[in-house]
Structure 1
């Protein structure tokens, strides 16, 4: 045995061959026993395996489970962002999209894995999630590419929650789309919270609705303002989810057309104020589609992008208002609820947040000192909100 020549990275431990290698983002080497005796043939096989591992590491494609499927550390490793993206995005998309599209997806996913695959998705802190978002935005050449990278993480994490690999999605709104002209979901914006000039007042919302060119659009914008749903949740809403005055938010539609669970990973039942109910009822009577909301051509939306930037800007220009992203309809609704005195827990549950921490951090400036239990369904209280918020005009 002493006459055997061992290549670098291969040792003998307890009469068995052991290899050593350093995965990406690891300070120390990993040592793994191969469980085979140190014969010349086995040493050659060990060297081939080690070279393959080193090649995968250099290409950013290393997956421990491919070489050591029964490794005890895999229970923890499967909750790391890298394995989650490989298993629940790259592997999940194979066969569901064209080969060329899958190759493009894989290249972009590997970039995320190389830079952020070491993050423990099961225990990521709010600060780490914000830093991930800020890092992806700063390193991406455009908001569109940053949005895609954030989306693929959300897709993978959502599927991991469904597969019970993760208990919950701990990234929250840190994986939302990037709006180049809105700071509401940047690291700085979330730390400072949303300002009064970063939401629409009720008067401004009414002007926006009037500026829409069709009745279909007017109903949709009204619903978005008065339901607080994310655009993707509105696009994915089905007739079977509706039992007015309540709806069940079971799913969302991504900007790439994938239907998946809401960001929280679970469905929620919400109450619709009268303005949202009326708009929804009128829309349902206007078509026979299974989806609640359809385009002006009567076809279901194929993504969460209900408005192009150009179209939305044209509506705001007609209303005489400065540009704020379409997602601002949701922020506006949240600010109205808080201004009307709704409890923070009620607002959090309606928006789909697991607790009130996000509400306080993002919408804290709209929380009044006194908290009478009012409702936006009460016309008198709506007038109070109207009069307390000055239009930007």
Structure 2
């Protein structure tokens, strides 16, 4: 007859030790060339407990294989714990940051991170973190060192958090791998420190008024004017303007489908321009076109409809724009000088679209949808001072009544 012990299913490396009047589970594994056997806590031996022991043994073997096993953390009362004290490794923060950057690259390959996000992390790690912390041993970084550095960053709160994100990640991993006992960032009152020491964003919503937009349109060259007028009438993001294909124009319903964006990112280790969907579902949208926006498109048809899949092309070479900096340097900056309009970056055309419509009584909820915001909160936060106190909630955009004043004053494009 089979004994109770032999009837139990014991996986490899798991055994039952009989000690006086009790039985204990024991697991066996090899560590640093030695065979180790450790008793598990006294507990009724059931199949579930046996399965747990097998799982624990597998976990230990994985950590041994990854060279991150800490004997004392698993068996603090074992005589072997002292004999197998973890050796303090000389690992620099730079080593960890470069490994993290490599992991980010793998995430891009796997499709779980965008190339543009990788570019942002690469700039932070190589431009901010490695110069400051790269040569320092991870065991030597302290909360006071971090506190002083963060306090002297002199950047906006958003930038500070972006910089700290990959650093926190590598310090968390270092703690989990027993390289450090705690993450020093956890002992810094970050929210309070960033709030007290970060600087206010220098970027300001500074839209063009009616006279300025009239001057911009007046001084734009014929091969520039249609783009400026369309931009003022749709408020698209620069990457959305650049990526816009002719196939997304709905001439019948006077709408344009926005479903692509062009951003800068890293692919195969090289910085390049990438066409990708908007970040959020709300970014994929149908933007209603005013008669002035349609007129701008009709004018542009004679320029690029046959020669390019993209609507807007660089008049200097006849090729589609590849990045917003091209528009800024070769078209926008010269236009501002010719027109005598105080320079602001071309993103302010998007702000001009929003502020002009809101001032004329446009429904903020409708506008949030047109601009690709997930909800109306961003509209109130960014453009609140342009929203009339008694706006009509049912009011919608119409092609002419809410067109920017400058475009009503300027001669419309025809085609």
Q: 1:264 aligns with which of 272, 280, 284?
A: 280
Quote the offset at 1:285 in angstroms.
2.7
1:30-60 per-residue CA deviation (whole Å, 9 max, x = no partner) reads xx9662778xxx9975647788998597622
Matches of 2:402 and 2:129, distance apart in 1:
55
**2:58 aligned residue (35, 46, 52):** 35
Q: Secondary structure of 1:60's partner?
A: helix
**Partner Cα separation in structure 2 for residue 335 and residue 43 of structure 1:** 58
CA RMSD after TM alignment: 4.8
User: 1:61 & 1:280 partners in 2: Cα distance?
Assistant: 48
Q: How much does 1:334 deviate?
A: 0.4
Q: Pick from 280, 299, 318 the counterpart of residue 297 of structure 2.
A: 280
Listed as ranges, the matches of 1:130-145 within 5 Å are 131-133=157-159, 135=161
Structure 1 residue runs without a partner (length 5+): 17-31, 65-81, 97-101, 116-129, 140-148, 150-185, 388-393
| Aligned-pair CA distance for 1:242 | 0.8
Structure 1 residue matching 2:391: 3-state secondary structure = coil
State whether structure 2 residue 211 is matched by structure 1 residue 203. Answer: yes
Q: 1:6, 1:56 → 2: CA distance?
A: 26
Can you list the C-alpha shifts for 1:292-321, whole angstroms capped at 9, x where unaligned?
111113211222335234752321122122
Determine the C-alpha separation between the residues in 2 that align with 1:358 and 1:322.
26
How far 1:369 moved relative to its partner?
Answer: 1.4
Deviation (angstroms), 1:207: 0.8
In structure 2, do the counterparts of structure 1 residues 105 and 353 end up closer, same or farther at CA, with 3 Å as the change threshold? closer
1:363 to 359, 383, 389: 383
Separation in structure 1 between the aligned mates of residue 375 and residue 211 of structure 2, nearest angstrom: 30
Q: Using a 3 Å threshold, how does the CA distance of structure 1 residues 343 and 271 change in structure 2: closer, same or farther?
A: same
Using the size of structure 1 for normalisation, the TM-score is: 0.56
Query: In 1, are the aligned partners of 2:208 and 2:348 still within 8 Å (CA)?
Result: yes
> In 1, Cα distance between the equivalents of 2:97 and 2:325?
32
Secondary structure of 1:292's match? coil
Where do 1:212-291 residues align within 5 Å?
Answer: 212=220, 214-244=221-251, 245-255=254-264, 256-265=272-281, 266-287=283-304, 288=306, 289-291=308-310
Structure 2, unmatched stretches of 5+, are 1-25, 42-54, 71-86, 131-155, 167-198, 265-271, 410-415
Conserved? CA contact 1:340–1:376, under 8 Å: no
| Match in the other structure for 1:292 | 311
Q: 1:264 to 1:379 in 2, by over 3 A?
A: same
What's the CA shift for 1:352?
0.2
Distance 1:200 1:46, change over 3 A: closer
Which deviates more, 297-306 or 223-232?
A: 297-306
Q: Which residue in 1 is equivalent to 2:123?
A: 108
User: Is 1:60–1:114's contact at 8 Å kept on the other side of the alignment?
Assistant: no
Other structure's SS at 1:259 match = strand
1:229–1:383 CA distance, 2 compared to 1 (3 A): closer
Mapping for residues 1-393 of structure 1, pairs under 5 Å: 35=58, 45=65, 47=67, 55=91, 59-61=95-97, 85-89=104-108, 107-108=122-123, 110=125, 131-133=157-159, 135=161, 188=201, 194=205, 198-212=206-220, 214-244=221-251, 245-255=254-264, 256-265=272-281, 266-287=283-304, 288=306, 289-296=308-315, 297-309=317-329, 311-372=331-392, 373=395, 375=397, 377-379=399-401, 383=405
Separation in structure 2 between the aligned mates of residue 257 and residue 45 of structure 1, nearest angstrom? 40
